[in-house]
Structure 1
Amino acid sequence: MTNKSSGFGSVLKKLEQGSKGGGPNVTKYLDDGESIVVRVLDASNTAFPYRAHSDHTTKIPPHTCHQEKGEKEDLYDKAAKVLIDEAVSHLDPKIKNFDDQSEEAKENYKRVRKESNRFEAKNRVKFGFINLKDGQPVIIDLAEKFAKQLILGFEKHEDKIDRNAFEITKTGVEANTTYGLERVLLDELSEEQKKHWDASEGKTFDKSLIDNTHFYRDEEQQLKDLVTMGFDVSRINLEAPEGVTAAPQEDVQQEVTQEAETVSVEESDVAAEEAMRAVEEFQMENDAESEPA
Structure 2
Amino acid sequence: MSMFTKTGAAAAASAQSTNEKKESAIVSFGSGTTYKVRFKSLEDSVEYYGYGIYDKVKTFVPKNPAVRNDRGFIESNPTVWDRAEQYYRDLQRKAKDAGDEKAAEEYSKLAYLYKGKPRYLIAFTNLEDGKDVVIDLTKKQASGVLAAINKYAKKLDKLAFELAKTGSSTSTTVTLTPILDMDEDLTDKERANFEKAGDKPFDFELFETCLYVADEAEQTKNLVIAGFDIGLIGLSLGAPAPAADEAPPITGDAPDVKF
Q: Could you say whether these structures have the same fold, taking a TM-score greater than 0.5 normalized by the shorter chain as the test? A: yes
- Once the two structures are superposed, what CA deviation does each residue of 1:85-118 show, in whole Å capped at 9, x if it has no partner? 23223343xxxxxxxx73x1x2222221211110
Q: Which residue of 1 aligns with 2:148?
A: 153
- Once the two structures are superposed, what CA deviation does each residue of 1:101-137 show, in whole Å capped at 9, x if it has no partner? 73x1x22222212111100111211111111111111
Instruction: Report SS of the residue matched to 1:86.
Output: helix
1:110 to 90, 94, 105: 105
- Name the CA distance, whole Å, in 2 between partners of 1:115 and 1:69: 20
1:197 to 188, 194, 204: 194
Q: Which residue of 1 aligns with 2:90?
A: 85
Contact 2:62–2:216 (CA<8 Å) still a contact in 1? Answer: no
Contact 1:42–1:162 (CA<8 Å) still a contact in 2? Answer: no
Q: Which segment is superposed worse, 107-116 or 126-135?
A: 107-116
Q: Which residue of 2 aligns with 1:225?
A: 222
- Name the CA distance, whole Å, in 2 between partners of 1:228 and 1:202: 46
1:54 to 52, 66, 72: 52
Instruction: Report SS of the residue matched to 2:177.
Output: strand
Contact 1:224–1:241 (CA<8 Å) still a contact in 2? Answer: no
Q: Which residue of 1 aligns with 2:70?
A: none
Consecutive unaligned residues of structure 2, counting only runs of 5 or more, are 1-20, 68-75, 240-252
Contact 1:135–1:200 (CA<8 Å) still a contact in 2? Answer: yes
- Name the CA distance, whole Å, in 2 between partners of 1:276 and 1:206: 39
Matches within 5 A, 1:120-131: 120-131=115-126
TM-score, normalising length from structure 2?
Answer: 0.73
Contact 1:28–1:139 (CA<8 Å) still a contact in 2? Answer: yes
**CA drift at 1:211:** 1.5
Q: Which residue of 2 aligns with 1:35?
A: 34
Q: Which residue of 1 aligns with 2:254?
A: 275
- Once the two structures are superposed, what CA deviation does each residue of 1:132-179 show, in whole Å capped at 9, x if it has no partner? 111111111112222223223223323322321111012222134222
Contact 1:67–1:73 (CA<8 Å) still a contact in 2? Answer: no
Q: Does 1:73 align with 2:83?
A: no
- Name the CA distance, whole Å, in 2 between partners of 1:78 and 1:23: 33
Contact 2:92–2:107 (CA<8 Å) still a contact in 1? Answer: yes
- Once the two structures are superposed, what CA deviation does each residue of 1:234-274 show, in whole Å capped at 9, x if it has no partner? 222211469xxxxxxxxxxxxxxxxxxxxxxxxxxxxxxx6
TM-score, normalising length from structure 1?
Answer: 0.65
For 1:54, give the aligned amino acid. G
Instruction: Report SS of the residue matched to 2:194.
Output: helix
Distance 1:68 1:37, change over 3 A: farther
- Name the CA distance, whole Å, in 2 between partners of 1:37 and 1:79: 41
- Name the CA distance, whole Å, in 2 between partners of 1:276 and 1:135: 45
Contact 1:150–1:180 (CA<8 Å) still a contact in 2? Answer: yes
**CA drift at 1:67:** 5.4
Of Structure 1 and Structure 2, the greater helix share is in: 1
- Once the two structures are superposed, what CA deviation does each residue of 1:210-245 show, in whole Å capped at 9, x if it has no partner? 122121122222222212222221222211469xxx
- Name the CA distance, whole Å, in 2 between partners of 1:37 and 1:201: 15
**CA drift at 1:68:** 4.9
- Name the CA distance, whole Å, in 2 between partners of 1:219 and 1:167: 39
- Name the CA distance, whole Å, in 1 between partners of 2:35 and 2:204: 20
Q: Which residue of 2 aligns with 1:142?
A: 137
Q: Does 1:215 align with 2:194?
A: no
Consecutive unaligned residues of structure 1, counting only runs of 5 or more, are 1-21, 93-100, 243-273, 282-293
Contact 2:64–2:215 (CA<8 Å) still a contact in 1? Answer: no
Contact 2:121–2:137 (CA<8 Å) still a contact in 1? Answer: yes
- Name the CA distance, whole Å, in 2 between partners of 1:167 and 1:179: 10
Instruction: Report SS of the residue matched to 1:48.
Output: strand
For 2:156, give the aligned amino acid. I
User: How many residue pairs align between the two structures?
Assistant: 215
- Name the CA distance, whole Å, in 2 between partners of 1:31 and 1:277: 29
For 2:164, give the aligned amino acid. T
RMSD: 2.7
